[in-house]
Amino acid sequence: MKKWEYETVVLDGKGILGGKIDIEGFKTKLNEMGQDGWELIDQTASNQGFGDTRYIICVFKREIA
């Protein structure tokens, strides 16, 4: 039976009201995690209000050898 470990990464939406996501930083973090064997399995954005994103929460998994 396969065994998994999980990691959660929270990316902050910048600005006073949030909503400004550093896309290049986001891609860099995703690629770093992928290079370390992590697979992105889910992501969700937390709403700060009026449709602005405060955080992007990413959940990764990788198989335990």
Residues contacting 2, CB < 8 A, separation 6+: 63
Query: Structurally, how many domains does the chain consist of?
Result: 1
Question: Which among 39, 36, 34 has a CA at the least distance from the CA of 6?
Answer: 39
- Give the per-residue pLDDT at 20: 73
The pTM (predicted TM-score) of the whole model is 0.80
Segments forming the whole domain that contains residue 27: 4-63
Structure-block tokens of residue 47: 């709403």
DSSP per-residue string spanning 34-62 = HHTT-EEEEEEEEEEETTEEEEEEEEEEE
Q: What is the rounded CA–CA span in Å between residue 28 and residue 32? A: 6
- State pLDDT tens for residues 22-49: 889 889 999 999 999 999 999 998 876 6
pLDDT of 16 over the 70 cut = no
